Amino acid sequence: MFEAAEVGNTIDKATYKKAAVKIREALLNVQRELAGSKHSVVVIVAGVEGTGKPELVNLLLEWMDARGIETHSMWNPSDEERERPPYWRFWRVLPPRGRMAVFFDSWYTSPIINRVFKRTDQAEFDQELSDIADFEEMLVRENVIVLKFWMHVSKSFQKMRLKELEADKRTRWRVNKTDWQYFDKYDSFRESSEHALRKTSTSEAPWHIVEASDERYRTLTVAKTILETLSKKMEQSRGQPAIKAQPDRPKPARRNLISHLDNALKLGAKEYGGELDRLYEKINRLTRKLYEKRRSLICVFEGPDAAGKGGAIRRLIGAIDARQYTVHSVAAPTDEERVRPYLWRFWRNIPRLGRVTIFDRSWYGRVLVERIEGFCAPEDWKRAYSEINAFEEQVARFGIHVVKFWLDVTADEQLRRFNDREITPYKQYKLTEEDWRNREKFDAYTAAACDMIEKTSTEVAPWILVEANDKYWARIKILKTVCKTLEKTLEE
Amino acid sequence: MFEAAEVGNTIDKATYKKAAVKIREALLNVQRELAGSKHSVVVIVAGVEGTGKPELVNLLLEWMDARGIETHSMWNPSDEERERPPYWRFWRVLPPRGRMAVFFDSWYTSPIINRVFKRTDQAEFDQELSDIADFEEMLVRENVIVLKFWMHVSKSFQKMRLKELEADKRTRWRVNKTDWQYFDKYDSFRESSEHALRKTSTSEAPWHIVEASDERYRTLTVAKTILETLSKKMEQSRGQPAIKAQPDRPKPARRNLISHLDNALKLGAKEYGGELDRLYEKINRLTRKLYEKRRSLICVFEGPDAAGKGGAIRRLIGAIDARQYTVHSVAAPTDEERVRPYLWRFWRNIPRLGRVTIFDRSWYGRVLVERIEGFCAPEDWKRAYSEINAFEEQVARFGIHVVKFWLDVTADEQLRRFNDREITPYKQYKLTEEDWRNREKFDAYTAAACDMIEKTSTEVAPWILVEANDKYWARIKILKTVCKTLEKTLEE
């Protein structure tokens, strides 16, 4: 695979100069078009050390408009990053629409190094590569143009280059012990990198292997590839009509996961009070331990309007130290959120270790309200199931427990609560015209919820169906589940 | 001062229950009005340990709508926080309009503890308190409602309380060594706290000292104070017409800081080339050292359209490793930025240590374009000078050097460049209708710039006036200044 990048490509100065002038102008033009488009760009500059990656990027930044480009070196993770799942640090710097981000290190760095130094076995490595492929597929579908460059030189060339850098007083600082350590592992790096590139080179996010021994050839090759990829994408978008979002109103099966629930389940006031006290005390104790053990918990609440999400959340937080939890109420995205991949706004709210985070509505909005109201294209909500599963798996693998509650009320009970809200002064604010409109789609919501539960209830992030016609019953079931989840988390 | 909070206020259960029901409803109502207002709320819950601060906040969160409230415990700073000026961690969590943030620890915590343990002397303490007063004054002017509660109990009561907590198996974990250490310093804490409260209790952000020995009295007092303060503010806003923003078109003095510049200064192409190479090499070396020594540099570029800011920035970054700098181009704020105090969007871009950050236009927009175009009320740009000075001083005191360039071109030279842009294909995009309109206000911009330079050129963050009719001259002057600043930074 790398042999093709060891053939000795060079470009002479005159040719380079002439080509450079043209490419610069074209790059600036395409960058301007990009700025007004729905696309963002992620450029990964990876490869063998000592191939002038920083110089290359510097030059590109000089050629293009540096104000539209951010560079991320991703040195060692900060403690805020270490306290979140590994991809958090990449998510947090994903560029908004119209902009570019250049990554020196990327999601490839750790997997390859860990494999070379045998900290992972082949199966784990393959798992990581498959995660990468999924991640990049998601990026592409979210209108991110992914450009991946692998700077390659032969072993003998790298040795020569490192010695050259060391010999020059001005560049000596650039070579350190790690570089030689890595050089000693050249063959192993070559093998693992080749494997990684093969497994992650897709038609939408292909790897570009660049022979890096000649500076001019390297620069022009990268610049041209960027130019061609962006130009092609811009041209495609120009011709393409935007995919129309359209409402989808599924019909529920006569017998389904939700119709199955026994909504007559009830709890008496006295029993409720007793259970509540007992569970409060227990949850308080367990969440304190959670903090000490630096584990985290995410609770997701979904369900129709007036299902009692707010009340259940209020009971749950009553048991937890206020310094330890956060409640996120998910409403319309802000403009900073709207110009980035869908899951960005949830990733940014992943808590540090030792916390409880409660989502009052969540990333499931995409497969519920967005699907039904047509706020996104059918392709978008259809791919959301697997993206959400991958997201929750990453979170869970990092040791954050995820538990998801579907609070179910019947259409009749919802109507009763709406009417109640209408006549009770301090509840009126809770009821809007929209609630009445949504009621007409009650069946569609039920069907969408069934699809969602079926496709996203996993071992690591199960859906708990809560019979919520009786508020006492629902709250106690929720608190009990939280208790059990905390106990499980703390046992691990 | 604290004596009034040692008189033994209590409330009986029946009175409490009755009052609580009313207050809850009223709090929910005012919170709803807040949500739609231009105000945000910062609540500080400080005071003696063992006075049930977490329980108090838990209860408030249960009473109000927890989704509109964030709680910040501000335990030890993370490394990302430690690498920024101390107030950064508070800025980053300032609530947007319509929302509340509760701080357990706050900007008061370190100053008081440091004074008690004699890590600072009285003069330093007073300086910190005066910074706090300035900070809170700014918050208030930015429509933040600042509520400060000091929970007080007498020495004997605190001792009893700590022993009580220790004796109970369920609460034992809440008392640790630090609590007793602090208790031993009770008198000293009392003295320093009293001093701090006196110095920072203003009519707009007063301290509320709460007798905390009786749980019910404590809770109702705090809840009532929140309710009254918010209700009053909401009522005021309702009656008040919004202050109209209006354009201000100052006339420059005949002889002023800028008219003074010798815009005939020039540099030949050959001399330019030589200097450029020399300075590139030097800046590259110095910025590398900057990284090693973990110091930072912020460069601000301001000046009329077509003054050559972009070109100068491109030359500057050409000398620096791409992994080390960021260029921020300041345009219209995003909606997340618009709903927070003005300087928030600049604070969020303060770099970690070892970096160079370049602002292509900056926080000075407020006293330039916003003043002239009337994007903010006159009060807003008038107070901006001192707020900016305080901001830059904080940044500088933390060891980040700030250098600000005003690139000056004459009206004639600007016209020449505009015409040039109009006829050169690859420069046309740089010229918009707005540029021509702004040209009519050239004099007003000059006058505003003079005011700005006069009021904000400080020892720690000087303005460098750059004669920019000749691009070569301007660029070399800028690079030389950066060199000198880096050398000075590295010497410290």
DSSP line for A366-425: GGTHHHHHTSS-HHHHHHHHHHHHHHHHHHHHTTEEEEEEEEE--HHHHHHHHHHHHHSG
> Are A71 and B281 within 8 A, CB to CB?
no
DSSP conformational letter for B125? H
Distance, CA of A467 to chain centre? 31
Q: In angstroms, what separates the C-alpha of B318 from chain A's closest C-alpha?
A: 6
> Are B102 and A329 within 8 A, CB to CB?
no
On chain B, the residues whose CB falls within 8 A of the CB of A66 are: 313-314, 317, 327
How is residue A40 written in tokens? 């963002």
Short-list B72, B60, B73, B71, CA closest to B31:
B60
> Are A426 and B28 within 8 A, CB to CB?
yes
Measured on CA atoms in the order B137, B138, B143, B144, is the torsion positive or negative? negative
Neighbouring CB atoms inside 10 A of B479's CB total 22
CA atoms of B468 and B477, how far apart (whole Å): 9
How is residue A283 written in tokens? 């949850």
Q: In angstroms, what separates the C-alpha of B311 from chain A's closest C-alpha?
A: 10
How is residue B192 written in tokens? 């320093």
Alpha-helical runs (H) found in B202-242: 215-239
How is residue B1 written in tokens? 């001062």
On chain B, the residues whose CB falls within 8 A of the CB of A170 are: 281, 285
Amino acid at residue number A19: A
CB burial of residue B463 (10 Å; 0-12, 13-18, 19+): buried
User: Which of A44, A174, A327, A328 to substitute to test the interface with B, most B CBs within 10 Å?
Assistant: A327
CA atoms of B280 and B290, how far apart (whole Å): 15
- The predicted pLDDT at position B62 comes to 86
- The predicted pLDDT at position A426 comes to 66
Say which CATH class B3-239 falls into.
Answer: alpha beta
How is residue B473 written in tokens? 């001259």
Q: In angstroms, what separates the C-alpha of A275 from chain B's closest C-alpha?
A: 18
Q: Name which of A67, A327, A329 is nearest B327 (Cβ-Cβ).
A: A67
Angle at A106 between CA A100 and CA A111, to 5 degrees: 160
User: Which of A31, A32, A71 to substitute to test the interface with B, most B CBs within 10 Å?
Assistant: A71
- Spatial contact of A288 and B173, defined as CB atoms under 8 Å apart: yes
Q: In angstroms, what separates the C-alpha of A135 from chain B's closest C-alpha?
A: 24
> Are A327 and B80 within 8 A, CB to CB?
no
Side-chain half-sphere of B383: how many Cα atoms within 13 Å?
A: 15
Nearest CA in chain A to B27: A426
Q: In angstroms, what separates the C-alpha of A140 from chain B's closest C-alpha?
A: 25
On chain B, the residues whose CB falls within 8 A of the CB of A79 are: 78-80
Domain A269-491 sits in which CATH superfamily? P-loop containing nucleotide triphosphate hydrolases (3.40.50.300)
> Are A321 and B104 within 8 A, CB to CB?
no
Q: Name which of B79, B310, B325 is nearest A78 (Cβ-Cβ).
A: B79
On chain B, the residues whose CB falls within 8 A of the CB of A65 are: 310
- The predicted pLDDT at position B338 comes to 93
User: Which of A57, A60, A323 to substitute to test the interface with B, most B CBs within 10 Å?
Assistant: A323
- The predicted pLDDT at position B420 comes to 86
Angle at B55 between CA B50 and CA B56, to 5 degrees: 95
Q: Name which of A28, A67, A328 is nearest B329 (Cβ-Cβ).
A: A67
Count the helices and strands in chain B (H runs, E runs): 20, 10
Q: Name which of B25, B314, B426 is nearest A426 (Cβ-Cβ).
A: B25
> Are B281 and A54 within 8 A, CB to CB?
no
Q: In angstroms, what separates the C-alpha of B105 from chain A's closest C-alpha?
A: 10
Residue ranges of chain A that CATH labels 3.40.50.300: 3-239, 269-491
Q: Name which of B323, B327, B426 is nearest A54 (Cβ-Cβ).
A: B323
On chain B, the residues whose CB falls within 8 A of the CB of A324 are: 73
How is residue A74 written in tokens? 């991703």
Short-list A389, A390, A386, A366, CA closest to A245:
A366
How is residue B449 written in tokens? 């710039």
On chain A, the residues whose CB falls within 8 A of the CB of B61 are: 317, 322
On chain B, the residues whose CB falls within 8 A of the CB of A322 are: 54, 57-58, 61, 71, 102
On chain A, the residues whose CB falls within 8 A of the CB of B79 are: 78-80
ipTM confidence score = 0.82
Q: In angstroms, what separates the C-alpha of A490 from chain B's closest C-alpha?
A: 18
Nearest CA in chain A to B28: A426
- As averages over each run of 10 residues, the pLDDT of chain B (492 residues) reads 89 94 93 95 93 89 88 84 94 95 93 95 96 96 97 93 86 82 93 96 95 94 97 88 82 87 92 93 93 94 94 91 89 91 95 92 96 92 96 94 96 90 73 77 94 95 96 97 94 84
CA atoms of B125 and B148, how far apart (whole Å): 19
CB pairs under 8 A between A and B: 102
Short-list B380, B325, B323, B375, CA closest to B349:
B325
Nearest CA in chain A to B101: A326
Q: In angstroms, what separates the C-alpha of A106 from chain B's closest C-alpha?
A: 13
Residues whose CB falls within 8 Å of the CB of residue A308, separated by 6 or more in sequence, listed in order:
A407, A409, A468, A471, A474, A475
Q: Name which of A62, A104, A323 is nearest B314 (Cβ-Cβ).
A: A62
On chain B, the residues whose CB falls within 8 A of the CB of A326 are: 70-71
**Residues forming a β-bridge with B359:** B300, B328
- As averages over each run of 10 residues, the pLDDT of chain A (492 residues) reads 88 94 93 95 93 89 88 84 94 95 93 95 96 96 97 93 86 82 93 96 95 94 97 88 82 87 92 93 93 94 94 91 89 91 95 92 96 92 96 94 96 90 73 77 94 95 96 97 94 84
Q: In angstroms, what separates the C-alpha of A180 from chain B's closest C-alpha?
A: 21
CA atoms of B318 and B284, how far apart (whole Å): 9
Q: In angstroms, what separates the C-alpha of A413 from chain B's closest C-alpha?
A: 24
Kind of pairing between the strands at A100-103 and A325-329: unpaired
CA atoms of B330 and B314, how far apart (whole Å): 16
- The predicted pLDDT at position A4 comes to 86
> Are B62 and A317 within 8 A, CB to CB?
yes
> Are A323 and B78 within 8 A, CB to CB?
no
Interhelix angle for A309-318 vs B53-63, to 10°? 170
On chain B, the residues whose CB falls within 8 A of the CB of A290 are: none
Distance, CA of A378 to chain centre? 20
> Are A58 and B321 within 8 A, CB to CB?
yes
Q: Name which of B281, B328, B426 is nearest A25 (Cβ-Cβ).
A: B426
- Spatial contact of A21 and A118, defined as CB atoms under 8 Å apart: no
Residues whose CB falls within 8 Å of the CB of residue B458, separated by 6 or more in sequence, listed in order:
B389, B392, B393
What pTM, to 2 d.p., does this model score? Answer: 0.88
Nearest CA in chain A to B331: A67
